[in-house]
Chain A
């Protein structure tokens, strides 16, 4: 695929952003609020350990180039992370300022400020630090692989990223809500990484190119395949017109302009994906958007910040209701039939399972249904290479990302079951460093 001719559909700039940019004066005032903590807790809390006070002080002194470099050294996806990270449970959540009875320093927005400046200035990245010899393949073009590839490339190794979608970036390009991260920004990061010398190939590994072939061509293989499609509800009516799962829905609205939402939309699920889909439906013009979750408000896995924001968007939430059927007319969904639930005693994992209450069924009319359950697993292809899986996730040694097959490393959602972009980046970076450590002696021998 030609890098410079990436199609960027027009409708992508449709919604206002969630966390707007800081202007220069505000950035400096905010930067000066930072105490410059020693062994800063915000740095420790960041999965990629960005030297937060260091880059913030550089903003304060007007050394924006240095600030950007500080961020990118730790986290090559510093741009997308500045927009998508749930900072209130990460860096900002540990900022000592909150114990000082003050607002935490706005680390995310300051990071965005430095990154915007860097990309506006042409995104020059320094050349590879060292000349390593060795070839590595990354399967999947999401944040985990991108971080792994960039770290290896910076150390001089040859890296090829294989992704099965038309555009690389994984969920950064196709998943994360657009009012947080625009696909164009995700693609800018990929261009920067491509500019470092990482090669990108569109291919479905396992189908178009086999793992055996890859093993012959590459010294190491990093699996950053993420998770798969949204799980099916397993109830009647799921294949009716007007039913579209949250990931397909989000990918469609992010990359094409032809998506019409109904007047009334029902979203089923209680995670961040459900909330992103519900917000998007509102913004695309749905008058009523109802989120139904089978447990209660307290059990909802979405971040508080996401939930609060969604209420501002006008999304309505309904608790303790699980779908039993999607009701259709003339092949299209017209309502969802729910049963009320009650929560049982906590099980071994501490979660309380919902039980349907007999005779409590009711119908909620709608024109569109968006199931947003968990995502399926796409790791099956790896089993044949002797890689241990557990519940469909790849088992790795935590600090290095090494799998049970020493030629393979893995990280990101396919290992952690689905966390955040920054966790995928941290996994990718750690794996790259472990791969470098195991290649170095060889390089010296050769």
Chain B
């Protein structure tokens, strides 16, 4: 079995799966249950001067009957006294010495305040510190969280303050709510950060109640913007992680966050260079038990791919991301439909007609409207069992419903392949253009377009 043990800037733990700072890491009792379930580490719910939360704090985006594809919150940091949190950290560390406990911290932007909280957290026994410069709501109005993380100079300065007092590794948690995340990441590095956590939640208005006209979550008839996370944010998080992972000036370990729910997303973040991943929404949705398949699935995948340790595949994908100008303009693919597998939904047909290049055809018809008109004009009757010839019900897909790709016109955009509900039914196949590789950069340098 693959070795999942992880070393993040000196923080050691049995696997790369950490709970992100949030409700699942609010108390010692919870974190111990999470470790029992199999989590390798936990970033404690952000510790600072206790706050008061609003009632109704969360909202979600449901999609096609699936709950919480996107999740949003207007919750602040821990509402429990600092001493309580620290006492519980000490207890957890005593009982779970091999698991990583990272204290997430947020205090006033004063040097002494940071020195003091760093010392207290380390005295309690935490294995590392995460500076929360990312919280995008509420705390930012008080000059903390993303109010720090959006200004590179503040980020650098406060990281320096923390580092002045710290003996354990310091991670800086980045906000995605900036124009160029690399600038802030570099500032954290300059301030001495040992690692980065990315991303915190994204500024959002989740949705509006069409009866009350109030956005969700509704707090006594009003709402405020919240932080967006969950499955919906993964592509954005992956991109931001790639940006800092590929940046030559940054060069410190990254803990990947944003939409991780299974081992698959975890593997994706790690392929882009992350050393660990953090999970919040998925654990809130289904509980700590999801980590079982994260561990099992990742190690099975690693065995299959013959990766002995997590370091063997970390960052492999970074070399496969380039700028558009370097892509090969002579690379050609086109769509092929496997007639055997086609179920005749004709979604590829209408997608190519209305959303691509009008090169998928249903034989005998010129345009979509003609196809529909022909079937509406047909007289259909209920078959009388055993007396009438069997209808469409019995056999395979009627040939008239299986579309055909005009290969000369297909531009290989992928749309039909993406809409086809049947795996392996449409394949995008390589065609040899017999032309050498040529990128836009090369082409323009040679005087072409």
What is the interface of chain A, defined by CB distance below 8 A to chain B?
28-29, 31-32, 35-39, 41, 43-47, 49, 60, 85-86, 88-90, 93-94, 96-97, 99-100, 298-304, 351, 398-399, 416, 419-420, 422-423, 426, 430
Return chain A residues, CB-CB under 8 Å to B381. Answer: 47, 416, 419, 423, 426
Complex Cα distance A100/B423, Å?
10
Contact, CB under 8 Å: A301 / B385: yes
User: Which chain B residue lies CB-closest to A100?
Assistant: B343
Question: If the complex has contacts A38-B349, A96-B345, A99-B396, are A90 and B386 also in contact, measured as CB distance less than 8 A?
Answer: no
Shortest distance in angstroms between A225's beta carbon and chain B's nearest beta carbon?
Answer: 19
Shortest distance in angstroms between B329's beta carbon and chain A's nearest beta carbon?
Answer: 32
Shortest distance in angstroms between B364's beta carbon and chain A's nearest beta carbon?
Answer: 12
Return chain B residues, CB-CB under 8 Å to A97. Answer: 343
Among B241-249, B367-375, B433-441, the stretch in contact with A: B367-375
Nearest 9 Cβ contacts at the A-B interface = A93-B393, A38-B350, A38-B346, A44-B375, A32-B65, A99-B343, A96-B343, A37-B345, A420-B382
Contact, CB under 8 Å: A423 / B382: yes
User: Which chain A residue lies CB-closest to B401?
Assistant: A41
Complex Cα distance A38/B375, Å?
11
Shortest distance in angstroms between B338's beta carbon and chain A's nearest beta carbon?
Answer: 13
Best-buried of A60, A88, A351, A419 by chain B (most CB within 10 Å): A419
Return chain A residues, CB-CB under 8 Å to B65. Answer: 28-29, 31-32, 60
Complex Cα distance A303/B391, Å?
14
Best-buried of A29, A60, A90, A299 by chain B (most CB within 10 Å): A90
Contact, CB under 8 Å: B397 / A99: yes
Chain A CB within 8 A of B379 CB: yes
Contact, CB under 8 Å: B346 / A93: no
Shortest distance in angstroms between A315's beta carbon and chain B's nearest beta carbon?
Answer: 17
Contact, CB under 8 Å: A86 / B64: no
Contact, CB under 8 Å: B347 / A37: yes
A-B contact pairs, 10 of them (CB 8 A): A38-B349, A38-B368, A41-B401, A44-B378, A49-B376, A89-B393, A97-B343, A99-B344, A100-B421, A351-B387
User: Which chain A residue lies CB-closest to B374?
Assistant: A39
Return chain A residues, CB-CB under 8 Å to B379. Answer: 47, 398-399, 426, 430
Contact, CB under 8 Å: A37 / B346: yes
Return chain A residues, CB-CB under 8 Å to B347. Answer: 35-38
Shortest distance in angstroms between A38's beta carbon and chain B's nearest beta carbon?
Answer: 4
Shortest distance in angstroms between A87's beta carbon and chain B's nearest beta carbon?
Answer: 10
Chain A CB within 8 A of B422 CB: yes
User: Which chain B residue lies CB-closest to A398?
Assistant: B379
Return chain A residues, CB-CB under 8 Å to B383. Answer: 89
Shortest distance in angstroms between B435's beta carbon and chain A's nearest beta carbon?
Answer: 35
Chain A CB within 8 A of B446 CB: no
- Which one, A39, A43, A86, A430, contacts B382 given CB within 8 A? A86
Return chain B residues, CB-CB under 8 Å to A41. Answer: 344, 392, 398, 401
Chain A CB within 8 A of B384 CB: yes
Complex Cα distance A96/B397, Å?
8
Chain A CB within 8 A of B380 CB: yes
Contact count band on B:
20 to 34
Return chain A residues, CB-CB under 8 Å to B421. Answer: 35, 100
- Which one, B344, B368, B380, B382, contacts A96 given CB within 8 A? B344
- Which one, B362, B386, B391, contacts A45 given CB within 8 A? B391
User: Which chain B residue lies CB-closest to A304?
Assistant: B385
Known A-B contacts: A31-B65, A99-B396, A303-B385. Give 11 more (CB < 8 A).
A28-B65, A38-B345, A38-B346, A38-B371, A39-B368, A41-B398, A44-B375, A49-B380, A88-B393, A96-B345, A300-B386
Question: If the complex has contacts A100-B421, A100-B422, are A45 and B392 also in contact, measured as CB distance less than 8 A?
Answer: yes
Best-buried of B347, B384, B398, B422 by chain A (most CB within 10 Å): B384
Interface of B is mostly: loop
User: Which chain A residue lies CB-closest to B390?
Assistant: A89
Best-buried of A97, A99, A301 by chain B (most CB within 10 Å): A99
Return chain B residues, CB-CB under 8 Å to A39. Answer: 346, 362, 368, 371-372, 375, 401
Return chain A residues, CB-CB under 8 Å to B422. Answer: 100
Return chain A residues, CB-CB under 8 Å to B64. Answer: 32, 60
Complex Cα distance A97/B205, Å?
36
Shortest distance in angstroms between B395's beta carbon and chain A's nearest beta carbon?
Answer: 9
Return chain B residues, CB-CB under 8 Å to A44. Answer: 375-376, 378, 380
Return chain B residues, CB-CB under 8 Å to A423. Answer: 381-382
Return chain A residues, CB-CB under 8 Å to B375. Answer: 39, 43-44, 49
Return chain B residues, CB-CB under 8 Å to A298. Answer: 386
Contact, CB under 8 Å: B344 / A301: no
Shortest distance in angstroms between B398's beta carbon and chain A's nearest beta carbon?
Answer: 8
Shortest distance in angstroms between B265's beta carbon and chain A's nearest beta carbon?
Answer: 23
Contact, CB under 8 Å: A422 / B392: no
Return chain A residues, CB-CB under 8 Å to B376. Answer: 43-44, 49
Give per-residue flags for B389-424: 1 if the beta carbon is below 8 A from chain A beta carbons, else 0: 001110011100100000000000000000001100
Contact, CB under 8 Å: A47 / B380: yes
Return chain B residues, CB-CB under 8 Å to A422. Answer: 382
User: Which chain B residue lies CB-closest to A419?
Assistant: B382
Complex Cα distance A89/B381, Å?
10
Return chain A residues, CB-CB under 8 Å to B392. Answer: 41, 45, 93-94
Contact, CB under 8 Å: B345 / A94: no
Interface set, chain B 200-222, CB cutoff 8 A to A = none
User: Which chain B residue lies CB-closest to A35?
Assistant: B345
User: Which chain A residue lies CB-closest to B398?
Assistant: A41
Return chain B residues, CB-CB under 8 Å to A45. Answer: 380, 391-392
Shortest distance in angstroms between A309's beta carbon and chain B's nearest beta carbon?
Answer: 14
Shortest distance in angstroms between A438's beta carbon and chain B's nearest beta carbon?
Answer: 19
Return chain B residues, CB-CB under 8 Å to A351. Answer: 387
Contact, CB under 8 Å: B343 / A299: no
Shortest distance in angstroms between A105's beta carbon and chain B's nearest beta carbon?
Answer: 12
Complex Cα distance A422/B383, Å?
12
Shortest distance in angstroms between A406's beta carbon and chain B's nearest beta carbon?
Answer: 20
Give per-residue flags for B53-68: 1 if the beta carbon is below 8 A from chain A beta carbons, else 0: 0000000000011000
User: Which chain B residue lies CB-closest to A27?
Assistant: B65
Shortest distance in angstroms between A84's beta carbon and chain B's nearest beta carbon?
Answer: 11
Best-buried of A37, A43, A86, A298 by chain B (most CB within 10 Å): A37
Complex Cα distance A38/B343, Å?
12
Complex Cα distance A29/B63, Å?
11
Contact, CB under 8 Å: B386 / A301: yes
Shortest distance in angstroms between A107's beta carbon and chain B's nearest beta carbon?
Answer: 13
